[in-house]
Structure 1
Amino acid sequence: MARPDTRPAQRTRRSGPLAAGATALALIAGLWLVHHGVGDGSVERPPAPVADVAAVPHARAPADGPRRVDAAPLPTSVPVRMRIPAIGVNAPMGTLGTGPDRRLATPPVGNRNLVGWYRDGVAPGARGNAVTVGHADTRSGPAVFFKLGLLRVGDRIEVQRRDRRTAVFSIDAVRSFPKDAFPDDIVYGATDAAELRVITCGGHYDKHTGYAANVVVFAHLTATR
């Protein structure tokens, strides 16, 4: 099939800061995830989110409410490790850029326990949306984000950084979006808070076309240490 055009689209900016490269990523990240599912269909599929809104792809994550508590954003620093206690993730993090085709590079398939961070975007804990990605599975079995769909609102994500600070995020929503209706404005839109997106493959798997959806975790910074 023809390779999709991943050049940044012209769009209206929202109020608040938006990291350089975030608009381009809105077109790139979803393409990587939906075109590079590497499961072979012979293993168990990743569990879907309970609040799966695949039939309503443009449903927004829960709006900010009076109970939400945000921590003050941290300075920029490279992330080195992610922990998600609720699903047993304790994984090193590596940086990801884009290739000549302007698609986001993939974490090495040989290391199933690696989380990739888009280095041209926001660092986890800094102001804006930090984007992290990882495989749900490989041909040899489940990978780092296999259980991502089991997460619930309020679960914790911890990102250890090179500056020895740890950014602690609280999950606001876990959603599944069809690959042909990925809502980039919702996932990557500008924000004045420090937020995190954790993305992997999900949905139906076809050996010819890969996964049909992306699972996306929305979280915001609630503590630092």
Structure 2
Amino acid sequence: MTAPSSSSETRSTSMWLWGTAFLVLAMMLAGRHGPADYAYPPRTVQTGAAAASGAAYPVGKHLPRARPERLLIPKIAVDAPFSDLIIGPTGHLQPPAADDTNLVGWYAHGASPGETGTAIIAGHVDTTTSAAVFANLSELEKGDRFYVTRADGRKASFVVDDAEKFEKDDFPDQRVYADTGQAQARLITCAGDYDHKAKDYTENLVVFAHLV
């Protein structure tokens, strides 16, 4: 879904900012559409929380760690390369290329897609000129499949468990980002209406999936 256009406002390409806090990963997906902005709300992601807390998760089906190469979502015609999202000198995650409409990013120091844990994959919903890679993400439903080709030559196959939209001021941090003994993935983008006054989308769309 793209933001509604306005003759009085010109939007630049979206960006993400992610940060860290203490021993857990604090993630902030922020979109900048100056002068209008849309943003993912700041969120705490408990990557490695099992080790930190001493909790033990039963390990389910999973693949060894390998960097992702392409995200394939046949239902919505997505075939996009991955960009590593890394933490820069400011303590925030550097954004992927802002002018590429067909690019997804993954948190490269978190779980890789197919590895045990929660792999975070984020994509633009639009740019200044057109819809972007996750413009039709809301069409995914329970039972749909998507795939991640990996540098080790394997293809990680995921099935969608749920797809939900959340108000930005009521985002379920633990549900989206909590550690897990399964190989899971989250596809995340902005959603809802674009509020020109607030310079922000009103919601986030999260697709929940697990490795099969």
| TM-score bracket relative to the smaller structure | 0.7 to 0.9
Residue 169 of structure 1 deviates from its aligned partner by 0.1
The aligned residue for residue 45 of structure 1 is none
The aligned residue for residue 71 of structure 2 is 82
Matched, 1:36 2:31: yes
TM-superposition CA deviations, 1:164-217 (whole Å, max 9, x none): 100000000001112222211110111111001110111121234321211101
TM-superposition CA deviations, 1:147-169 (whole Å, max 9, x none): 00111100011000000100000
TM-superposition CA deviations, 1:60-93 (whole Å, max 9, x none): xxxxxxxxxx972110000000000111101111
The aligned residue for residue 110 of structure 2 is 121
Structure 2: distance between partners of 1:75 and 1:100: 29
The aligned residue for residue 216 of structure 1 is 206
Matched, 1:8 2:21: yes
Relative distance call for 1:195 and 1:5 in structure 2 (3 A) is: closer
TM-superposition CA deviations, 1:134-159 (whole Å, max 9, x none): 10001111000000011110001100
Relative distance call for 1:99 and 1:206 in structure 2 (3 A) is: farther
Structure 1: distance between partners of 2:18 and 2:64: 34
Q: Which has the higher mean CA deviation after the structures are superposed, 80-89 or 202-211?
A: 202-211
TM-score normalised to structure 1 length: 0.70
Matched residue of 2:169: which SS? helix
Relative distance call for 1:175 and 1:103 in structure 2 (3 A) is: farther
Two-structure CA RMSD over aligned residues (Å) = 2.5
1:99-178 mapped onto 2 (5 Å cutoff): 99-178=88-167
TM-score normalised to structure 2 length: 0.74
Residue 106 of structure 1 deviates from its aligned partner by 2.2
Greater strand proportion: 2
Structure 1: distance between partners of 2:18 and 2:103: 28
Matched residue of 2:93: which SS? coil
TM-superposition CA deviations, 1:18-42 (whole Å, max 9, x none): xxx7x42xx42xx32xx4154988x
**Structure 2 spans left out of the alignment, 5+ residues:** 1-16, 37-58
Relative distance call for 1:210 and 1:193 in structure 2 (3 A) is: same
**Structure 1 spans left out of the alignment, 5+ residues:** 10-20, 42-69
Structure 2: distance between partners of 1:196 and 1:91: 16
Matched residue of 2:112: which SS? coil
Relative distance call for 1:7 and 1:165 in structure 2 (3 A) is: closer
Relative distance call for 1:99 and 1:169 in structure 2 (3 A) is: same
Amino acid at match of 1:197: R
Higher relative contact order (CA 8 A, sep 6+): 1
Q: Percent identity?
A: 41
Amino acid at match of 2:21: P
Matched residue of 1:86: which SS? helix
Matched residue of 1:180: which SS? helix
Residue 109 of structure 1 deviates from its aligned partner by 1.9
The structure 1 residue matched to 2:185, chosen from 163, 186, 196, is 196
